Amino acid sequence: MPQNSKRKSLYFWVAFVLIGLELLSHKSAIAKEILLKVGIVQRLGENKEGLTLSSTSGDLLSLSFKDEQGKAKTLQTSQVKLEIISQPLSKGKVEERLVLSDHATFETAENSAKQWRKQGIQVEITQPGRWQVWAKRDVYQTPLLRRWLLESLKKKGATTAYLDTNVVSSQPQVSFFINGVRYYPKQLEITTRQNLVKVTQDNQQPRLYSGSLVIQPNAYSTYTLVNNVPLETYLRGVVPHEIGPNAPLNSAKAQTIIARTYALRNLRRFQADNYELCADTHCQVYYGLTGTNSIADQAIVTTKGLVLTYQNELVDALYSSTTGGVTALFSDVWDGEERPYLQALVDSPLQVWNLTQQSLANEETFRRFINLKDGFNETGRTVFRWSKESTIQELNQDLKKYLERRKDPLANFKTIIWMEVTKRSPSGRILTMAIQTDKGMLELYKNEVRSAFSPPRSTLFYIEPIYDANNKIKGYSFVGGGLGHGVGLSQYGSYNLAKLGWTAEKILAFYYPGTKIQPLNTSIIYWKEKK
């Protein structure tokens, strides 16, 4: 063989080996198990609730913690009851945070945080109940700094910021009793050989969780029970509860891909509390290994590692139960930049309505649309169309609670005099609702309407006053459609499309136009903040 041919052959062989090693390395990086930190019991200690943790048959719990002297300790038992004990303090302690803004949802809170940062203020997003933006505690550490910042913001015209100050004489403390000794750990890790732990909260049915558990302090002087769980195992506790146990397989596949995508994109939600996701509708419903089913498991296995992307970034994979016949833009519900793939679409495989010619921003047109019932993906579903009446007294109670939570100065009003939808989006969602009270006028924006009143199941509704015999308003009728925010995929809508023979890929392309399904790899961006 000529020398040049030998050299070329050697180069080819070396290149082949290097490419093979690179592919192996790439595959290994992708295949590496992703562990999530999911807060399955949040703010433990606000009430007198307790938790019982149990191992499965033939196994033991290992409880690892540091004792009061800081010495590492591990105890084993088959069951332990965790109690929250109110520990008296030797002297009163002041707990204070500067709340910059208060919101119904993480999405709007995150946008608010971005605006505060533009003013040079360091912030953190928290969820003591509603979502809040706080002046960052480790930056504004002293009462003087917090008050200086608050006064400077007020001089600039800020109206939402306030100091939340409490003097406490006791604080919650996790405690458990084992082998005749009571322990008070600041943090407690629970593991088992089989990676399975049963959790019973109060008198509820026990739930089984895979992975390990950690009881850890949070930002509110209480505790969170965190489940450290592999991503694909986590999905087993999400998919059947989100899409339902009887979903068609292709609907379950679509749900699995966006649930995986949603989880990975939203790992930043609870940075202030040192975990990543919650286990309720503020994130995704997650019940561990309780309630798993074969359809969801099949969907998880067959879509393993697949995520939904837009320009090589994970999409904001928002979804809701029922859109009411039309999906919404991101900005119809939350503050922040539009996502190009979250569009206002008529939720039907048929041409039942043309949004470009008949915008639902017009009140009269909207009312015609909301009275349509046939031809939509969700036709026949209980919450596709709904109507509910509420008395002025009931609405007063709702609004008072809402304004008190937000520490709004109008919270001392006595009665609502008049309510009116003053602005809608082209998808029909309420953008502004005006409310006249005896103390003054207030406006509710977007999703805050659902937070303020109990009747609406979505922001896709209109109101009609109900009069008494003296022609005085005694209540309002809420007439609307859908359940939830209506952005992105409709879970019940996906049922219909799957039954029509649509694949998971086609379903996702319908609800998220312009997106791409990809195997998760190291080049994909999970999330980046837009400037």
Q: What is the pLDDT of residues 173-193, one digit of tens each?
A: 999 999 999 999 999 999 999
Q: Compute the average pLDDT of residues 306-319.
A: 98
Residues of the chain with CATH 3.30.70: 87-170
Q: Compute the average pLDDT of residues 9-20.
A: 39
What pLDDT does 49 receive? 74
What pLDDT does 46 receive? 86
Residue 28 predicted with pLDDT over 60: no
Q: Compute the average pLDDT of residues 395-419.
A: 96
Distance CA 100, CA 116 (A): 8
What tokens does 181 get?
């000794």
Residue 22 predicted with pLDDT over 50: no
In this structure, is the dihedral angle defined by the CA atoms of residues 240, 244, 247 and 251, taken in order, positive or negative? negative
Angle value at C-alpha 114, between 427 and 522, nearest 5 degrees: 85
Q: Compute the average pLDDT of residues 89-97.
A: 93
Q: Do 328 and 429 form a contact (C-beta atoms < 8 A)?
A: yes
Q: Compute the average pLDDT of residues 36-41.
A: 98
Distance CA 322, CA 260 (A): 20
Q: What does the chain come to in residues?
A: 531
In this structure, is the dihedral angle defined by the CA atoms of residues 444, 448, 453 and 456, taken in order, positive or negative? positive
From the list 144, 442, 509, the residue with the least C-alpha distance to 152 is: 144
Distance CA 254, CA 507 (A): 7
According to DSSP, residue 515 is labeled: -
Residue 4 predicted with pLDDT over 80: no
pLDDT, mean over the chain: 93
Q: Compute the average pLDDT of residues 117-121.
A: 97
Distance CA 387, CA 105 (A): 25
What tokens does 331 get?
């900005």
Residue 144 predicted with pLDDT over 50: yes
Distance CA 342, CA 487 (A): 7
Neighbours of 471 (CB within 10 A): 6
Q: Do 36 and 266 form a contact (C-beta atoms < 8 A)?
A: no
Residue 128 predicted with pLDDT over 70: yes
What pLDDT does 32 receive? 67
CATH number of 87-170: 3.30.70
pLDDT above 90 covers a percentage of the chain that reads 89
What pLDDT does 202 receive? 82
Q: Compute the average pLDDT of residues 114-120.
A: 97
What tokens does 330 get?
């991101």
For 45-60, how does the pLDDT look when each residue is reduced to its tens digit (9 = 90+)? 887 778 999 999 999 9
Strand order from edge to edge, sheet including 440-445: 416-424, 430-437, 440-445
Distance CA 419, CA 392 (A): 10
What tokens does 126 get?
């928290």
Q: In 3-state terms, the chain is what percent helix, strand and coil (to 5)?
A: 25, 35, 40
Residue 69 pLDDT grade (very low, low, confident, very high; cuts 50, 70, 90): confident
Q: Compute the average pLDDT of residues 206-221.
A: 97
Q: Do 68 and 217 form a contact (C-beta atoms < 8 A)?
A: no
How many alpha carbons lie under 13 Å from residue 152 in its C-beta half-sphere? 10
The dihedral formed by the CA atoms of 283, 287, 288 and 291, expressed in degrees to the nearest 10? -140
H runs (alpha helix) in 292-429: 294-302, 363-370, 392-405
Residue 21 predicted with pLDDT over 60: no
How many alpha carbons lie under 13 Å from residue 133 in its C-beta half-sphere? 21
Higher pLDDT, 424 or 23: 424
What pLDDT does 18 receive? 38
Q: Compute the average pLDDT of residues 460-482.
A: 97
What pLDDT does 314 receive? 98
Neighbours of 355 (CB within 10 A): 17
For 487-513, how does the pLDDT look when each residue is reduced to its tens digit (9 = 90+)? 999 999 999 999 999 999 999 999 999
379 to 19, 254, 322, 349, 482: CA distances (angstroms): 53, 20, 10, 12, 11
Specify the pTM: 0.91
Q: Compute the average pLDDT of residues 354-363.
A: 97
What pLDDT does 114 receive? 97
